[in-house]
Amino acid sequence: MDAPETPQIYLITPAAFDPDTFADQLARVLDGAAIACIRLALAGQDEARIARAADSCREVAHARDVAVVISDHVLLAERHGLDGVHLSDAARSVRAARKTFGPDAIVGSHCGASRHDGMTAGEAGADYVSFGPVGASTLGDGTRADAELFQWWSEMIEVPVVAEGGLTPDLVRSLAPHTDFFGIGDEIWSEEDPLAALRRLTDAMA
């Protein structure tokens, strides 16, 4: 993913969903907003369930020329025609994934709040680095990726950066000058109207 002039939306799926129901929701969001990429962020190791979800989302996304990556499952990404992989172990798997996929696939790396991990991932061949959570989250050890990290990264590093986790309109407004993508997922899927929830966040970039 190339760094855009203004932040773009990198959509993150729920950890669990019914592929049939979610496909309609996803289609509505993709038809109503400009989405740069989708990440399948499915929990668990049920290969059949993940594969079914991957096929469903790929069909909806590729019909609209939107790329799809999957969290960590390199082999499933290859097998199901996805566009790449999002690695959650910082920089450790980037080089191996790049070797598996070759130069054309998307390889992203989540690096928590660590500048060092981010730089290492970039040097290993990551197309983008994501930092987060940027807002309140009960996940992990409570460490947040603060605005200073994104400001420093945008000034010093060319690898595109994603801000994700616990986003609010205020956080979007403050981080918009310093990030290339906003990773938005739980913030909208828990709402009755995900597209309206997404617009509330993206309006804050204006």
Predicted local confidence at residue 139, as pLDDT: 59
- Whether residue 4 is predicted with pLDDT greater than 70 in this model: the reply is no
What would the two tokens of residue 105 be?
């696939």
Which of 140, 84, 85, 86 lies closest to 114, judged by CA?
A: 140
Whole-Å CA distances, 128 to 13, 41, 125, 131:
18, 16, 9, 10
Question: In this predicted model, what pLDDT tens digit does every residue of 76-100 receive, in sequence order?
Answer: 999 999 999 999 999 999 999 999 9
**Percent over 90 (pLDDT), the chain:** 91
d(CA 16, CA 80) in angstroms, rounded, equals 18
CB 163 within 8 A of CB 135: no
Q: What would you measure as the largest C-alpha separation in the chain, in angstroms?
A: 43
Whole-prediction pTM value? 0.95
Give residue limits of the domains in the chain: 8-205
Predicted local confidence at residue 184, as pLDDT: 98
What would the two tokens of residue 116 be?
């060092």
Pairing between strand 106-110 and 128-131? parallel
Predicted local confidence at residue 187, as pLDDT: 96
The class (CATH top level) of 8-205 is: alpha beta
Question: In this predicted model, what pLDDT tens digit does every residue of 10-22 receive, in sequence order?
Answer: 999 999 999 999 9
Res. 140 pLDDT band, cuts 50 70 90 = low
Which of 58, 88, 62 lies closest to 73, judged by CA?
A: 88
Q: List residues bridging with 11 in a β-sheet.
A: 38, 184
